[in-house]
Chain A
Amino acid sequence: MAEPIVIAEGLHKSFGDTHALHGLDLSVPKGTVCGVLGPNGAGKTTAVRILATLSDPDAGHARIAGYDVVRDAAQVRARIGLAGQYAAVDEKLTGRGNLRMFARLSHLSRREAHRRADELLDRFSLMDAADRQVSGYSGGMRRRLDLITSLILRPDVLFLDEPTTGLDPRSRGQIWDSVRELVADGTTVLLTTQYLDEADQLADDIAVIDHGRVIATGTPDELKATIGDRLDVELEDPAALPAAATVLEALAGAEPTTTDDRLTVALPATGLRLADIVRELDRAGVAAADVRLRRPTLDEVFLRLTDQKEPVR
């Protein structure tokens, strides 16, 4: 595994009585996408703000490419890009005007700034809208402009704080494509999101955080494996629900969740064969319309992980 380029160790941050971060550890290998998942208020944005030098931790430390985010903030800023929940661009300027301004503020020469702006507009398909005022852009176009603005200096590490919140599926897909392209170029991406499918699509590794600390890490597959496969049963007759529930509980050793004519239960890691399950249901006289064995979704993993944790104060 490549050496970590983003390292956070024991980060603490409080705002008054609220402990936003409570000993957060994070390590992102170079050239990978790390998805930071967590419910609202888990500390995702606070963590990103500390890593992007916008906020200092109360305790603990963090390094980007070997530079401390507090002591060597200037060096860190020269190596990072930040795209946030807002489209942090000037709405009164054109797309091209924004890119040129931010490029000049990144201390590119006038000529370089113009060239870089055109290059980015072209590559991320905003050239057609380059000379229109940003206030006339769609939500997706604004986010894309925000994203490419953070790429002006070809950052080693890109922080994306909920980059697709509030976007329609097509715009989300375009942002995802852009992120994949960047990763192919070698950029390391730290992505916070509350969309589990986004993390599933983009992230090599996932860190689930809740109440300001990491409660689970792993690849999406590893995380899914921790809660075992799911068994979905759909009944022909809803009246058979109690009987089916008894059968599934006996098989899985856990009470199934039920809705109308469906039952879902987590299976123990020991592994049950589909044939056995169907036979047991049949023996109990339950007519099943459909019986499916499937991997859990990241949503189920997430709910399971974040549900059982009591707030740590």
Chain B
Amino acid sequence: MTALTSPLGRLRWTFTDGFTLIGRELGRLRNDPGELIVALIFPAVMVVLFGYVFGSAIQVPGGGDYREYLMPGLFAMVTFSALMGVMTRMAGDASRGVMDRFRSMPMARSAVPFGQTGADLLTGLLMLAIMVAAGLLVGWRPHHGLVPTTQAFLLMIVLRYALSWAGVYVGLAVKNDQIANALVPLFLPFTMLSNAFVPTGGMPGWLRFLADWNPVSALTAATRHLFGNPGAPSANAVWPLAHPVATVLLWSAALLVIFVPLSLRAYSRKGR
């Protein structure tokens, strides 16, 4: 316990405790394969629903296969799900007293936020891998070789990690898993109000403005560009879509700068 008093000891325990919490996440998945099955079915449903049902009526700007156009949008959707996933997990722990148990234990104060975001990264990679497999199955391919493909995946991972910190903060702020669960349905319209599923060109002006500036659109545009999938934004697109990679990196940096300190403070702050 004395190790907690030195900065180096604290850092070590932050990592050790973080790994224990990652192990907790794996244990949950192992004990509850249902969650894994839902995670497997979800992408399949999305690919079929959008790729074949809606896709049959959607014209890709500049031509090209709709399912090639769609997959980067679905990858972006999976990436943004980190926000909701981490939020509900943190709020669940807070409302069930698990958070108080953590706080009353001699643990490093930063271990829980770091552990939770690390654990989400792991489950996120798993979900992304499943979605990629679904994409490959319906004919989606990266066309630009190894380096841009790797860059696209790194971009998704970086943004996911930053989003998971926002999830930690929101989860700690709402503290109540019922409120957190009530927020989850907002996720779908948020991701759909973007270029992920349909081109924004046909939307009314004000809606198009929102969609073009939605970070989901920037991530989708960036990975379409890096994978060489159809639907790259036109030259006169708004700045975030004309520079999608830079936009995603800026979003990631901004989210981390804002939410890492806020989350660490919210976790250490003593409540009622």
Contact = CB atoms under 8 A, between A and B. Distances in A.
Interface of A: 15, 46, 49, 52-56, 74-75, 77-78, 80, 82, 84-94, 97, 101-102, 104-107, 133, 149-150, 153
A303 B232 CA distance: 75
A139 to B, nearest CB: 14
A78 B108 CA distance: 12
Given A55-B271, A101-B24, A105-B21, 7 more contacts: A52-B104, A74-B106, A75-B1, A77-B105, A97-B24, A102-B105, A107-B106
A31 B4 CA distance: 28
26 contacts: A53-B104, A55-B270, A78-B1, A78-B106, A80-B104, A82-B104, A84-B101, A86-B97, A88-B101, A89-B98, A90-B28, A93-B27, A93-B28, A94-B27, A97-B27, A97-B31, A102-B101, A104-B20, A105-B17, A105-B111, A106-B105, A106-B106, A106-B107, A107-B13, A107-B107, A133-B32
Interface in B79-102: 96-98, 100-102
B97 A84 contact: yes
A75 B104 CA distance: 11
Contacts of B98: 88-90
A78 B102 CA distance: 12
A89 B96 CA distance: 8
A235 to B, nearest CB: 50
Nearest to A97: B27
Nearest to A83: B101
Nearest to A84: B97
A52 B4 CA distance: 18
Contacts of A133: 31-32
A205 to B, nearest CB: 24
Contacts of A88: 96-98, 100-101
A164 to B, nearest CB: 16
Given A15-B272, A54-B270, A93-B24, A105 B107 contact: yes
A44 B266 CA distance: 25
Interface of B: 1, 3-5, 13, 16-17, 20-21, 23-24, 27-28, 31-32, 96-98, 100-107, 111, 270-272
Nearest to A134: B31
A194 to B, nearest CB: 18
Contacts of A90: 24, 28, 98
Nearest 5 A-B pairs (CB), nearest first?
A: A88-B97, A86-B97, A92-B28, A104-B20, A78-B106
Contacts of A87: 96-97
B106 A49 contact: no
Contact of A94 (B20, B31, B107): B31
A48 B111 CA distance: 24
A77 B24 contact: no
Nearest to B93: A90
A150 B102 CA distance: 11
Given A15-B272, A97-B27, A101-B23, A74 B1 contact: yes
Which of the listed residues A15, A46, A54, A87 has the most CB atoms from chain B within 10 Å of its own CB? Answer: A54
Contacts of A55: 270-272
A46 B4 contact: no
A68 B96 CA distance: 27
